[in-house]
Structure 1
Amino acid sequence: MGSAFRIVTILALLATSATAQTITRFQPSRQELIARYKRSAMMDSATKNTVFKSSVDAHWLPGGKAFWYCNILADSLEEYIYVDATTASRKPAFDMDALTAALRAAGVNVKSGRPGITALSPEAAGLRFEMNKKWYRYQQGQVTAIPDQPPVAGESNQPGISPDKKWTAFIKDGNVFVASSQGGAPVQFTTDGTPQKPYGRLSWSPDSKYLAGYYIQPVQDSSVYYILTAVPNTTRGQLRSQPYKQPGDPFTTYTMFVFDITQRKTMKTDAEPIDFLDAPRLHWLKDAPAQFTYEKTDRGHQRFRVIGVDAASGKTRAIVDEQTKTFIYESTMINEYPGGTNLLLRSSEKDGWKHLYLVDLTTGKEQQVTKGNWIVRGVDSIDVKKRQIWFQASGMQAGEDPYNVHYYRIGFDGKGLLPLTPEVGTHDMKYAPGGQYYTDTYSQVNVPPVTKLRRAADGKEVLLLEKADVSRYRQSGAKPPEPFVAKARDGVTDIYGIVSRPSDYDPNKKYPVLENIYAGPHSSFVPKTFTPYSEMQSLAELGFIVVMIDGMGTANRSKAFHDVCWQNLADAGLPDRQLWIQALARQYPYVDAERVGIYGTSAGGQNTVSALLFHSGFYKAGVSACGCHDNRVDKQWWNEQWMGYPVGPHYDAQSNVTNAARLQGNLLLIVGEYDTNVPPESTYRVADALIKANKDFDFLAVPGMGHSDGGPYGRMKKRDFFVKHLMGVAPPAHNNGELPIGVEVGRERWTFK
């Protein structure tokens, strides 16, 4: 038996070896390649509008216990559904054919199956609905128009009026004045303000005894410039400009003052001047009318404070003082002040994960609410009476993709954690008015959406609302991308990504790889919801394996995972990405890790060039669109957040401009001449440095285009570029009619900073 087993094993190994030897490099002829271009265009068209019932936009009726929604079906037909949560019932909101007939009988022009109703409400004997901004009533088979109702006037809250309505604060010639509602001359509290350096941003105390505000020393941002070269009906280029703050540029300064209304006294507080970001909002404490707090982030993003101020004395105290050696991600911090309390619910990554902390603003005592190797993604609501927090989180569900968003409820004391979205996938939850019910839509990148109605009290399912209809999509022959996981550079951390293959791929062929990169540290970017088709799949149909990966340095994982980007944007997680692609090639022999291209837009454009400069042994070709290639040229708020302040030698060391002479491989630069997000000179400076270094590269400037991947023309040039440099085949001669005129070249779905 042992000998027989050895023989079988040897035969199996020989068979495996023979199979491995049959895998050949995918190398289409030119005619085969042109056919693939046509196939890709056909798939682009065949997959449009082929997924239905993928979400539910619930229009809740008064009381929050019933709602209606509309499904858009094949051929743009509409289906209206009425749901009663109390009886767990779901039914058509009306008879479509009967309503259409009644509308036409009333002289209203309506398309069959597509009335375009924007609001509806059941009535005792029928239905009231809105269509084309007009209201109608449908009863006993007849439609009648409802006269327009005048809008209800709301109470106006004029700025500057005190809570007790006895005073009005205003700025005149840059100075603070307060006028009594009883009449008389206004009281002037300041005299050194001017229109150029005024006082402002005034805030009343709840008891109307104090007014807080700032002395403002404005800074005028320098401009960046653009020349529009092809404006119709002109014969000259048109110069445009906009104010644009770059790293190191100064900020407006705000110096805090308090004005005592009773004593007619002006007092400069002990608060440090605010010389970074905007003037913070003031939060007056409950039952302590002379006390307020504000938030302060120091420039460099390494210190965050919540500071308390005594309006009677002008003295300040630090309530929260958080510091770090890397960065505090200020713009995604959660800082909620529950109404009617002296509490602050805030987020912090100080224990290595983004969690919630409850702070008593009167005592400064802080209590951690959530804890574990997972992160809070957002807070939906805070119930002060029940002392409960409704929040979103990722990474808590064992065995799941740690980026999947789930929803939970927890007590102020960190107890009573209740999962509200148990199914595997990324969830999108919408609460009913009053919060008694919610709709929950969930999916995975390769699993179609499901929508359920649930009860908020315990998270129990009330009713299945919809399962996405993908039957027409499946008929197209396309398939969604596949998730794939591999280890990071540390050999421990899991790196997540997706893979798109040609829908007709041959496992005995070896296909070149394209990486769609976007390594901006402000978030994570690999899609987690159902993605039936994208530009990635359109490129794959040409004969590529197209991947997208979230490497180290991106957000929504641990603090240590994110910290890799600190003063290190040139890294872009590229070491992790290469290991991921190599692991993919080991698992799937049809993946050719020797022919790898990379493309990206904005931060992804920067990452693409960095790949060719610093990892040219792995990446052979790249297409970079509107990249922020030098972090000194790009916008201040984004770059100082990750690269720090002050601007130092590390900015220069990681610049694609500085390192342009290192270029190996093939590069196409794309830039829109009217990019108001990343100044076009960022790309032009790379081009200038490459020319001075005698480097060969391709360049496409698109007249009149903004922050973009180049649009349809840029996407056409991108696929032609990769076909030429990774397949070694001349792309179609577009000017000679080798492809039908007007063929669409992919559908871009990504968004950029």
Structure 2
Amino acid sequence: MTTGHAGFDRFINGLGAFVTGGAIIPAWSPDGKSLAFLDGTPEERGGRLIDLESGESRPLVADVAALREAVRTATGRTPAGRGLPFDHVGFTGPRSLAAVVGSAQVTVDLDSGAVGKVPEERALDVHLGIAGSVRRTPREFLRSTPLIDPQKARELASPDGDAFVSIAGGNVVLRSVADGRTVPLTDDGCPEQDYRFDLVDPQLAVLGMAFDVCNWSPDGSRLAVYRADNRGVYEIPQVHHLKREDEVVHRYFAQAGRPLERTTLHVLDVHGRAPVRLDLGDPADTYPVHAAWLPDGASLVVFVLSRDCRRAEVLLADATTGQTRTLFGEESETFLRIHHDVYYGKKIGLFLTPDGTRLIWLSERSGWKHLYLYDLEGNLLRQLTEGEWPVDYVQRVDDDYAYFTAHSDQDRPYDLHLARVPLAGGAVEFLSEQPGVHGVMFAANGESLIDTWSTPAEAPRSVLRRAGGTVICELSAADTSELEWTPPRQFTATAVDGETELWGVLFFPADFDETKQYPLIEYVYGGPQIAVAPHAFGGHFGNPAHALAQLGYVTFVVDGRGTPERSKAFHDVVYHDWARGLVPDHAAVVQQLKERHPFLSAAKVGVVGHSWGGYSAFRLAAERPDVYTAAVSSAPGFDPYSSVLYECYLGFPQTDRAAYRKAEVYPLAAQLKAEFMLVCGSIDHATWTDAMKMSEALIRAGKDHEFVVLPEQMHGYDEVHDAYFWRKVAGFFRAHLQEGIR
């Protein structure tokens, strides 16, 4: 077994290097009759071909050696390994595949086994951008994103694949696949008033991936876009130090209670008609979203959320005139939607039925997140789901059913299951049975689906199901023979209210010994927009916790009250009180774990977190010095006044002063007793000022602390700086937690 720094390095990037199979990348045949996928290690990769009607499973290629020889003959190169020499495959016809071997593109005939090499394009044509592959490949562009640096994105393809759109100089640009040339669809964009569109490609539907919005009209003649007017929005400086001369860049950064970008919605015509602005009234202090095009392309469904997230409206807009009418709305005493979901992901919980006559609305009006069906006159037809469990999200809608994932197991509230409900009304059918977190991918025709599930200790398995839930066949089970570890354990604890059950996951060193004593480290987040305890195998928040454990600790991740995926009441604990469930619940979990497990009874406790996790780590250490000995805050979001991201939960500084005062942490600097390390990237304009203010508060309070600066790093760190960060974390906890541990 590998522990220590080698074990840390082994696990920090996840378990994928030691586990093969279990989850697959599907290729669905264009005639809807077959599924192909690859499985196994790169050295000995195999593949399967599934008949979707009968469930018969057979090797994708009958004679692998013959295929490899055919590849060598076609390409002039001997493929690496001993198995199928492909990373991915795709169908080009009912019985033919396309794949890449090295730099060569090949085709494979599944009946004859013949391999053909796709002719290479002239290097000059590729260089000049006139080669077919270059014209048909989405190009990168810089996309404006609220609050953060412009992000690299790829052009969005039209429904027929004949054109792409991107943004250049704040304007929408259309590029033809025919010749690669571009034409602007707008001419009044600029850096402070720029156009944007959602990067949700309709081609993702072939993978069965759920999405809420599609910018292109069904016939590809129109495009729904946003225009963000940043005039008057606060600009925050970002200082770059590594060139010969310092450079200062200003980023738009809307702050709590101060001006928000004014977003308007527009319809562009690819054939040259003037853009149409949708009539949504005064755009100030709203978050409008293009929700869906009606099938005839004449109208759009629009979602508008108020700035405080307590009011939402659904409207129907005429794509030609821009006129709108309200269909229905909803108000709540607290937030209706998670702010991040709407602001960044356009995850709005609104779904159009395929015939374009009804809308499915996700609402927590009953105290639990459920589905409601409306017509296009705004009438509520029926509530589709009910019960003391929450719907997670709608994954697919067909003419008869809404398919969705849900936290439907009340004994295991973070397990995620697939279900469906008839649009005509009727009982919910639960389509997955095994404990764990289930993810689904539908075939393009919706008649079958891949169900993949796992738990923290059980690697993924995938089966093929019919849409009604019947298992057709097993597809893949993960091979964990190379994984040397002590599996993590899910646990429950009781919140400080004495009755609410909290769920978390414990991680252990590979050579864990229950007779020994271990320091305890909490990897914390605590933000209200996501639940982070990893109830599936591996995962973003599980990887660091698992890796830290290899340094000789027991680590854990838990979700306290004030986070989503449970009841509305569980989530609403954060409303107007940012830390109400944070410090009491997390400290209570630590105490219960130490009482429950002899190997933790004498443990010193550390805590580490990033972003809002950095806020949580500091607050836990400052308010509960009897529990936490050492804390690390990375890229910490300390200041509730600094960003609009706080408003949906705290309100506004002008009207909800008490909520903001309770959320402040700089006054807690004077009571910090724990050892403390502060880490931040120098160009993380979102939190650099927060980190500087905290360091100043600690200095004035006479509190020693470490301040680690990561030059030219943003809110996320690159590979080199991330490795340096974790080396610093390891040394910090070794110095302050491991003394006296046997």
The answer for unaligned runs of 5 or more in structure 1 is 1-34, 162-169, 176-193, 259-266, 731-753
Structure 2: which amino acid aligns with 1:626? A
Structure 2: which amino acid aligns with 1:225? P
Q: In structure 2, do the counterparts of structure 1 residues 411 and 217 end up closer, same or farther at CA, with 3 Å as the change threshold? A: same
- In the other structure, the counterpart of 2:52 is 85
Q: In structure 2, do the counterparts of structure 1 residues 482 and 373 end up closer, same or farther at CA, with 3 Å as the change threshold? A: same
**Which structure 2 residues correspond to residues 217-616 of structure 1 after superposition, within 5 A?**
219-229=231-241, 231=242, 234-253=243-262, 272-281=281-290, 294-307=302-315, 319-330=327-338, 331=342, 332-384=347-399, 387-394=400-407, 396-399=408-411, 401-456=412-467, 458-473=468-483, 476=484, 478-531=485-538, 534-571=543-580, 573-592=582-601, 595-616=604-625
Partner of 1:627, secondary structure, is coil
Q: 1:217 & 1:511 partners in 2: Cα distance?
A: 54
Q: In structure 2, do the counterparts of structure 1 residues 723 and 124 end up closer, same or farther at CA, with 3 Å as the change threshold? A: closer
Q: 1:48 & 1:378 partners in 2: Cα distance?
A: 27
Q: 2:9 & 2:25 partners in 1: Cα distance?
A: 31
Q: In structure 2, do the counterparts of structure 1 residues 283 and 228 end up closer, same or farther at CA, with 3 Å as the change threshold? A: closer
Partner of 2:307, secondary structure, is coil
Q: Is the 8 A contact 2:30 2:94 kept in 1?
A: no
**Which structure 2 residues correspond to residues 71-110 of structure 1 after superposition, within 5 A?**
71-73=39-41, 76-94=43-61, 95-106=63-74, 107-110=76-79
Structure 1: which amino acid aligns with 2:352? Y
- In the other structure, the counterpart of 1:680 is 688
Q: Is the 8 A contact 1:256 1:268 kept in 2?
A: yes
Deviation at 1:538, TM superposition (A): 3.0
Shifted more, 531-540 versus 500-509: the winner is 531-540
Return the match for 1:623 from 632, 641, 663. 632
Q: In structure 2, do the counterparts of structure 1 residues 727 and 200 end up closer, same or farther at CA, with 3 Å as the change threshold? A: closer
Deviation at 1:515, TM superposition (A): 0.5
Q: 2:71 & 2:647 partners in 1: Cα distance?
A: 59
Shifted more, 95-104 versus 143-152: the winner is 143-152
Residue 119 of structure 1 pairs with residue 127 of structure 2: no
Partner of 1:690, secondary structure, is helix
Structure 2: which amino acid aligns with 1:688? E
Q: 1:55 & 1:83 partners in 2: Cα distance?
A: 16
Q: In structure 2, do the counterparts of structure 1 residues 691 and 379 end up closer, same or farther at CA, with 3 Å as the change threshold? A: same
Q: 2:99 & 2:612 partners in 1: Cα distance?
A: 46
Structure 2: which amino acid aligns with 1:300? D
Residue 699 of structure 1 pairs with residue 707 of structure 2: yes
Q: In structure 2, do the counterparts of structure 1 residues 669 and 592 end up closer, same or farther at CA, with 3 Å as the change threshold? A: farther
Q: 2:574 & 2:525 partners in 1: Cα distance?
A: 13
Shifted more, 120-129 versus 640-649: the winner is 120-129
Q: Is the 8 A contact 2:28 2:36 kept in 1?
A: yes
Q: 1:212 & 1:427 partners in 2: Cα distance?
A: 33
Q: Is the 8 A contact 1:61 1:67 kept in 2?
A: yes
Partner of 1:514, secondary structure, is strand
Deviation at 1:219, TM superposition (A): 2.3
Q: Please tell me the root mean square deviation across aligned C-alpha atoms, in Å.
A: 4.4
Structure 1: which amino acid aligns with 2:45? E
- In the other structure, the counterpart of 1:663 is 672
Deviation at 1:285, TM superposition (A): 7.5
Q: 2:21 & 2:34 partners in 1: Cα distance?
A: 19
Deviation at 1:350, TM superposition (A): 1.0
Q: 1:257 & 1:378 partners in 2: Cα distance?
A: 27
- In the other structure, the counterpart of 2:142 is none
Partner of 2:725, secondary structure, is helix
Q: In structure 2, do the counterparts of structure 1 residues 381 and 664 end up closer, same or farther at CA, with 3 Å as the change threshold? A: same
Q: Percent identity?
A: 27
C-alpha offsets along residues 190-232 of structure 1, whole Å, 9 cap, x if unaligned?
A: xxxx99999999x9999xxxx9999997625332223333x2x
Deviation at 1:431, TM superposition (A): 0.9
Q: 1:205 & 1:722 partners in 2: Cα distance?
A: 55
Deviation at 1:469, TM superposition (A): 0.9
Structure 2: which amino acid aligns with 1:111? A
Q: Is the 8 A contact 2:287 2:304 kept in 1?
A: no
Partner of 1:471, secondary structure, is coil
Residue 712 of structure 1 pairs with residue 723 of structure 2: yes
Q: Which has the larger radius of gyration?
A: 1
Q: Is the 8 A contact 1:446 1:480 kept in 2?
A: yes
Q: In structure 2, do the counterparts of structure 1 residues 276 and 236 end up closer, same or farther at CA, with 3 Å as the change threshold? A: same
Deviation at 1:126, TM superposition (A): 8.4
Q: In structure 2, do the counterparts of structure 1 residues 155 and 171 end up closer, same or farther at CA, with 3 Å as the change threshold? A: closer
**Which structure 2 residues correspond to residues 131-150 of structure 1 after superposition, within 5 A?**
131=101, 132-137=103-108, 143-147=115-119
Partner of 1:689, secondary structure, is helix
Q: In structure 2, do the counterparts of structure 1 residues 432 and 643 end up closer, same or farther at CA, with 3 Å as the change threshold? A: same
Q: In structure 2, do the counterparts of structure 1 residues 357 and 693 end up closer, same or farther at CA, with 3 Å as the change threshold? A: same
Residue 639 of structure 1 pairs with residue 646 of structure 2: yes
Deviation at 1:321, TM superposition (A): 3.1
Deviation at 1:519, TM superposition (A): 0.8
Q: TM-score, normalised by structure 1?
A: 0.76
The answer for unaligned runs of 5 or more in structure 2 is 122-131, 137-159, 166-171, 175-183, 198-214, 268-275
C-alpha offsets along residues 470-521 of structure 1, whole Å, 9 cap, x if unaligned?
A: 1121xx3x12211111111222221000111233333333322110001111
Q: Is the 8 A contact 1:301 1:644 kept in 2?
A: no
Q: 1:405 & 1:444 partners in 2: Cα distance?
A: 10
Q: In structure 2, do the counterparts of structure 1 residues 41 and 257 end up closer, same or farther at CA, with 3 Å as the change threshold? A: closer
Structure 2: which amino acid aligns with 1:500? F
Partner of 2:733, secondary structure, is helix
Structure 1: which amino acid aligns with 2:79? V
Residue 55 of structure 1 pairs with residue 23 of structure 2: yes
Q: 2:368 & 2:11 partners in 1: Cα distance?
A: 41
C-alpha offsets along residues 710-741 of structure 1, whole Å, 9 cap, x if unaligned?
A: 611111111221122122379xxxxxxxxxxx
Partner of 1:372, secondary structure, is coil
Q: Is the 8 A contact 1:582 1:593 kept in 2?
A: no
Deviation at 1:371, TM superposition (A): 0.6
How many residues align structurally?
649
Partner of 2:684, secondary structure, is coil
Q: In structure 2, do the counterparts of structure 1 residues 389 and 86 end up closer, same or farther at CA, with 3 Å as the change threshold? A: same
Structure 1: which amino acid aligns with 2:687? P
Structure 2: which amino acid aligns with 1:491? G
C-alpha offsets along residues 43-71 of structure 1, whole Å, 9 cap, x if unaligned?
A: 65997722111211111111222121112
C-alpha offsets along residues 540-582 of structure 1, whole Å, 9 cap, x if unaligned?
A: 2333221110111111111010011112223452212222222
Deviation at 1:410, TM superposition (A): 0.5
Q: 2:71 & 2:504 partners in 1: Cα distance?
A: 51
Q: Is the 8 A contact 1:359 1:365 kept in 2?
A: yes
Deviation at 1:534, TM superposition (A): 3.1
Deviation at 1:311, TM superposition (A): 11
Structure 2: which amino acid aligns with 1:250? P
Partner of 2:604, secondary structure, is strand
Q: 1:293 & 1:103 partners in 2: Cα distance?
A: 50
Q: 1:315 & 1:59 partners in 2: Cα distance?
A: 42
Q: TM-score, normalised by structure 2?
A: 0.77
